[in-house]
Structure 1
Amino acid sequence: MEDVKKNACVVVLGDIGRSPRMQYHSLSLAEMGYVVDIIGYGETEPMEEVKTAPLLYYHYLLPCPRISLKFVNYIFKTIWQAINLLFLLFVIRKPDILLVQNPPAIPTLSICWFYCKTMGSKFVIDWHNYAHTIMALSLHKHHPLVKLTKKIELFIGRKADNNFCVTNAMNNDLSENWNISAVTLYDKPPKIFQPITLKQKHAFLKHLGESYKNLTLDDNSTLFTKEVNNEVYLKKDRPGLIVSSTSWTEDEDFSILLTALQDYENHILNGNEKTLPDLICFITGKGPLKSYYSENIAKRNWQHISIITPWLESKDYPTMLASADLGVCLHTSSSGLDLPMKVVDMFGCGLPVCAYDFKCLGELVKHGKNGYKFTSAEGLSEQLQEWFENFPHNEKQQEKETQFKTELHTFQKLRWTENWVNMAWPVLK
């Protein structure tokens, strides 16, 4: 702990509540004695630890009015955000360190670099992905805006005093193709992501049943658990519980999961030789494509699969993960160089995962060792059927689950705080 209070500013041109890594950065800086000003949008509540931390202060950006013409709206939004961000930067206490999330790159990188240059603050970029590759999903890689964004990332990235990134693959790419030196700071789960007891699972499912009545029964039990003489048991005829979390954006193709679930349903209806349980699938999160996929889900006439799309409070999300039998991740990465934090969270809860495979996923998911990787709906369907065949009485599957959880127990030993102190603090201090 530093004897003299120093100041830090963490900038997120997005919803603070849905930017867990930047919340963790803020908490870690505060734990080191920094007074931390967080700038971002306040659409959802941050983590409880962040809300109650005495050295953290919020400064919310104003939502931008929308203009119907797409290009005009983009220009207007950029100018609006630039002025809004610059105003907040100059009214907060002068930071010794300014840490900005990328993406988005426009206008945050230019504004934050200009401010640090003017005020003499240390300028640090945390590379979660590349802004230009995300933009290319909705435009194309040769679009003038995509090219401009890449040039800004390249120019400002080289001006930073320090850089963090989320994978070794991105680290190598920044070094070899961008001439930017960075420190790899892997996402690690904080201690709120932990395995839970059967009693905690039962209590959570009953709580969830208040909103989703099909999860609970009249005898005070749930579809998955029952309580007898103050002892909680897993039901032997329970359905499988799978969970997936998403921001409902273009880099996650949820049609893959829906197709895999349809195939799973067909196998049951067609009397396949495999004995498969019903499935309850929770898909958490919110984002621009949620309504599109919700309409798609509503058209399905499944008899053995139920999909629930809740928005969970931050305190309930870890418990949801820890209550599931299997996690599914459909993150594909626009650059192929970042890793899905949702898998990190699942691993922190001891939850095995089926994850869509891309270039650097092997830095996190080891196929057949701590989870599974797939590249198609057919592959995911096969993994779901293998995992849930004769569930929950398949001894082979139980052995595999024990093996996975042993690996995940090792993964859980290094949490965010220890990793941040080892990797980030030597750079920042």
Structure 2
Amino acid sequence: MAAGGGVLLLLLAAVAAVLTAWLWRRRQVAAGGVGRVCVAVLGDLGRSPRMQYHALSLARHGRDVALLGYLQSRPHGDVLRSGRIRLVPVTDLCGLLVGPKLFQYVVKVVVQAVQLLYAMLKIDQPSYILLQNPPGLPAIAVTWLACLFWRSKLIIDWHNYGYTVMSLSHGRNHPLVQIAKWYEKLFGRLSDYNLCVTNAMKEDLWVNCNIKAVTLYDKPAAYFKETPLELQHRLYMKLAGDYEPFKPRTESVSWSGEKSAFTEVDGSSGHVKKSRTRPALLISSTSWTGKGPLKDYYNGLINKLHFKHIQICTPWLEAEDYPLLLGSADLGVCLHKSSSGLDLPMKVVDMFGCCLPVCAIHFECLHELVKHNENGLIFRDSDELAAQLKMLFLEFPALEGKLHSFRKNLRACKQLRWDESWDQTVLPLLG
């Protein structure tokens, strides 16, 4: 009874907050909000590259953008430097540790709803609100209410389904998962336009949710490209200051130049070259390195393995250094598995932008991105991955074999970049 009373009080507080915001803004509503767009995500903006890309594309076409979300990590420098993009922070809610878990979850959703709605009613009136889903609970319903208030159009960018992500922790038949599924389908139908990341998701949205969407594939930004050798060396030397694997294995007594584990500068000519004995550099696409909450746990497991010929590094890179490292690597390894089987790993998109071949773990619609034996390899278990790595690096660092062939294919494919793809797909929707 006490828990129910607490939830009721929170709901009353939410209604009061909405009415207050409504009265406060009534006299300030500008006519139409033409030229303004709110790009929103109930998550960390710094780790939401696709939404940052949306904001930059809108700004490039003369739109004023309110980029709304959590400011936990720094967004890309292009976003921060844009005179048309204004960051609108939403306070990240720490977990409530009082009462049953269901009560904690309800309280969190209610408080997030109030925070998000308040933030959306404080901005200048937008003509469109572009929302990332997931997370969609409570974001979709709140954004729909904000659109009613502002007389704006709602665009949902479907990256995945929130209920399938939730099912990883609770199971598909859990009541909360079923409620989230019902909620997502119901409020998803209230949008004016919908974007999605794969053709498989486009079909699923139509067949199972009666939602018509346009596929906007993730595409690499222009700064994802092969890194020139001089920039590679500069990056390696920077990382060597903090991370052991980037330091040279041995130092020759007669060597007078600058050296990393992968590159060296000739002391007499000043030219950078790749070290003859350099190791292969693999980049793994995961969610538990960098500043991830399980970083220490996995580092503990790694340290127990006592590899002789392998070093594992879990650095946190600035947004500007990440594409440089991808453009310097020899192979990408993707461990992303979709909760719905309908989304694609954006990190592989970035790797392909850098002409970096990949080995990626199989799931249903991966073929829309990774072409087996053309731009990389698809594996199903650790044994198959091990065999692929052995085959690809058998003659390393010789420039021949499958690895070199994959890179040549990526260079030749001339794939669309984000700006061109966005202009063709999204810009016509905005009128």
TM category, shorter: 0.7 to 0.9
Code of the residue aligned with 2:137 in structure 1: it is: I
1:335 paired with 2:373, answer no
Cross-structure match for 1:376: 381
After TM superposition, the runs of 4+ consecutive aligned structure 1 residues lying more than 3 A away are 410-413
Cross-structure match for 1:87: 118
Code of the residue aligned with 2:428 in structure 1: it is: P
1:47 is displaced (CA, Å) by: 0.4
1:64-143 to 2 correspondence within 5 Å?
Answer: 64-68=93-97, 69-143=100-174
- For the residues of structure 2 that align with 1:157 and 1:56, how far apart are their CA atoms? 27
Instruction: From 324, 340, 363, give the equivalent of 1:358.
Output: 363
- For the residues of structure 2 that align with 1:357 and 1:78, how far apart are their CA atoms? 34
Code of the residue aligned with 1:54 in structure 2: it is: G
- For the residues of structure 1 that align with 2:338 and 2:413, how far apart are their CA atoms? 22
Code of the residue aligned with 1:52 in structure 2: it is: R
Cross-structure match for 1:235: 275
1:210-225 to 2 correspondence within 5 Å?
Answer: 210-217=241-248, 218=251, 219=255, 220-225=258-263
Give a deviation string over 1:219-244, Cα, whole Å, max 9, x none: 52111111111112212221111011
- For the residues of structure 1 that align with 2:144 and 2:392, how far apart are their CA atoms? 49
Matched-pair contact (CA < 8 Å) for 1:347–1:412: no
1:321 is displaced (CA, Å) by: 0.7
- For the residues of structure 1 that align with 2:173 and 2:364, how far apart are their CA atoms? 22
Structure 1's unaligned 5+ residue stretches are 249-283
Give a deviation string over 1:19-45, Cα, whole Å, max 9, x none: 000000011111111110011000000
1:185-224 to 2 correspondence within 5 Å?
Answer: 185-217=216-248, 218=251, 219=255, 220-224=258-262
Matched-pair contact (CA < 8 Å) for 2:245–2:311: no
Code of the residue aligned with 2:403 in structure 1: it is: E
Matched-pair contact (CA < 8 Å) for 1:47–1:315: yes
Cross-structure match for 2:315: 310
- For the residues of structure 2 that align with 1:159 and 1:103, how far apart are their CA atoms? 16
Cross-structure match for 1:46: 75
1:417 is displaced (CA, Å) by: 0.3
- For the residues of structure 2 that align with 1:14 and 1:74, how far apart are their CA atoms? 17
CA 1:201–1:65: 2 relative to 1, 3 Å:
closer
1:210 is displaced (CA, Å) by: 1.1
Cross-structure match for 1:17: 46
SS of equivalent to 1:94: coil
Matched-pair contact (CA < 8 Å) for 1:5–1:33: no
Code of the residue aligned with 2:272 in structure 1: it is: V
User: TM-score scaled to structure 1, two decimals?
Assistant: 0.88
Cross-structure match for 2:30: none
Q: Once the two structures are aligned, what percentage of the paired residues are identical?
A: 46
Cross-structure match for 2:264: 226
- For the residues of structure 1 that align with 2:123 and 2:413, how far apart are their CA atoms? 39
Rg: which structure is higher?
2
CA 1:313–1:148: 2 relative to 1, 3 Å:
same
Matched-pair contact (CA < 8 Å) for 1:347–1:411: no
- For the residues of structure 2 that align with 1:53 and 1:137, how far apart are their CA atoms? 38
Matched-pair contact (CA < 8 Å) for 1:167–1:363: yes
Matched-pair contact (CA < 8 Å) for 1:348–1:412: no
Q: How many residues align?
A: 388
1:408 is displaced (CA, Å) by: 1.4
1:410 is displaced (CA, Å) by: 4.1
- For the residues of structure 1 that align with 2:175 and 2:236, how far apart are their CA atoms? 50
1:386-425 to 2 correspondence within 5 Å?
Answer: 386-393=391-398, 398-425=400-427
Instruction: From 146, 149, 169, give the equivalent of 2:177.
Output: 146
Q: Could you tell which deviates more after superposition, 226-235 or 407-416? A: 407-416
Code of the residue aligned with 1:136 in structure 2: it is: S
1:414 is displaced (CA, Å) by: 1.0
- For the residues of structure 1 that align with 2:88 and 2:39, how far apart are their CA atoms? 10
Give a deviation string over 1:86-135, Cα, whole Å, max 9, x none: 11111100110000000011110000011112221010000000000000
1:10 is displaced (CA, Å) by: 0.7
- For the residues of structure 1 that align with 2:408 and 2:426, how far apart are their CA atoms? 28
Code of the residue aligned with 2:77 in structure 1: it is: E
Code of the residue aligned with 2:118 in structure 1: it is: F
Give a deviation string over 1:338-358, Cα, whole Å, max 9, x none: 000000000001111000111
- For the residues of structure 2 that align with 1:328 and 1:73, how far apart are their CA atoms? 37
Give a deviation string over 1:194-240, Cα, whole Å, max 9, x none: 10111111111111111124422455211111111111221222111
Cross-structure match for 2:4: none
SS of equivalent to 2:178: helix
Matched-pair contact (CA < 8 Å) for 1:26–1:56: yes
Code of the residue aligned with 2:395 in structure 1: it is: N
Give a deviation string over 1:300-328, Cα, whole Å, max 9, x none: 21111111101100000001111111100
Code of the residue aligned with 2:286 in structure 1: it is: T
- For the residues of structure 2 that align with 1:158 and 1:287, how far apart are their CA atoms? 34
SS of equivalent to 1:312: coil
- For the residues of structure 1 that align with 2:372 and 2:280, how far apart are their CA atoms? 21
Structure 2's unaligned 5+ residue stretches are 1-32
SS of equivalent to 1:159: coil
Code of the residue aligned with 1:44 in structure 2: it is: S
1:178 is displaced (CA, Å) by: 1.2
Cross-structure match for 2:298: 293
- For the residues of structure 1 that align with 2:201 and 2:274, how far apart are their CA atoms? 43
SS of equivalent to 1:150: helix
